[in-house]
A and B are shown apart, each in its own frame.
Chain A
Amino acid sequence: MAVATEFTALASSVGGALIGVSAVLLLYSNGRIAGISGIVKRLIAPAADSKPAQALAFIIGLISAPFVWTAVTGHAVTQSVSTNIPLAAIAGLLVGFGAVLGGGCTSGHGVCGLSRFSKRSLAATIIFMAVAVLTVFVVRHIIGGGP
């Protein structure tokens, strides 16, 4: 069932801005889009110009983030992840497959693409947002379950 979370306008805006700083840094330095599904794909299914070592370095940075955050601030990272294993397996498959088929995910289309005023990214963002909202509605309010 739903785990209550607090509305955090300031923290969320600051966190979002940091995501933006990362995206700008990556485009400025290496000319790359900070789309995480794309970066993971560059590492595990590389094409000619994928530069997988750079992708790996980015991913190591991502994975280190919660530990660096806790080391610096002393705060643990609060997280509530569903323990429904079959659901995790199916959702992971759908997220990975859909993101690469659709050419991007929340970060690639939703942040970087919209920031370039890409028509494709706007369409993708509207579609995945709408389907995700509908999915949560069906799972929580019609079926009456889910994380």
Chain B
Amino acid sequence: MFSRGTAKFFKSAVGSASKRFSTESNAKASASNLLFKASVATAVGSGISLWYLNKNTAHADMQADGLHPPHYNFPHTTLLGTFDHASIRRGFQVFKEVCAACHSLDHVHWRNLIDVAFTEDEVKELAAEYEYEDGPNDQGEMFMRPGKPSDPFPKPYPNEEAARAANAGAFPPDLSLITKARHGGADYVYSLITGYCDPPAGVEIREGLNYNPYFPGGAIAMAQNIFDGVVEYEDGTPATASQIAKDVTTFLGWASEPELDDRKKLGVKAVLLFSTLTALSLWIKRNRFSSLKNRKIVFNPPSNWNTPTKK
């Protein structure tokens, strides 16, 4: 994979780096250098193999495992990108109007949307559109009241059995952590909801199921729900099917990882600080050891060193 020149350069770079930070004597250094080089070579080799396996999207049984989704450039899946919060806001609208008919969002409360995609006043209005059971009151009876920001997002079904009964035996999964819970993450979710097509010749799909090449096995109970114009955006964004799918995928990505923006920013700070401190500590170590390593012990024998003393 590497040319000979690259390998040579890499070898000398590793060698000089380990010499630069090492204060051991030469004989010992060459043994530990060898060990160091072997470890680096192993790490690089296995890293390249894993990277190749990860990048290579063709695999043996794409029918059973589902087609690998292509990579899409969501801003929040890049190394230093935050969520596109306007997209989260549109995606929430899509979720509420389309997905929430069958899918729950157990881990998201109304208040989580405050200062993420909605203002506090907007969230209060959104939550108040739904009725929640509360109580007991002073007669010991449960009563219904309008929702508050502290309430969870409403569930479409009271329990899994009800959900299965309403969907011909299929259970619509909870979407709170779906981009973390599926191989391929956001790319998979986007590909799945835009990937419906006619089954290829020879593939039979049972009554009530739909063909989707990205779904493991190919037969998915969920029908295609995302079409051009299925929602109407308040900010005037053209509601094409791909735009809607992108927005709802961004929203579900946020639901899975609400901490992502802060986490990435903190990561940048940590890498900056710790790399500086590492360089500093390596330099200080050399600095402090230099006087020890360079000292010379001189023995000046007395002039009568070889003369036997008389008793």
- Asked if A and B are interacting partners, one says no
Taking beta carbons and an 8 Å cutoff, which residues of A are in contact with B? none
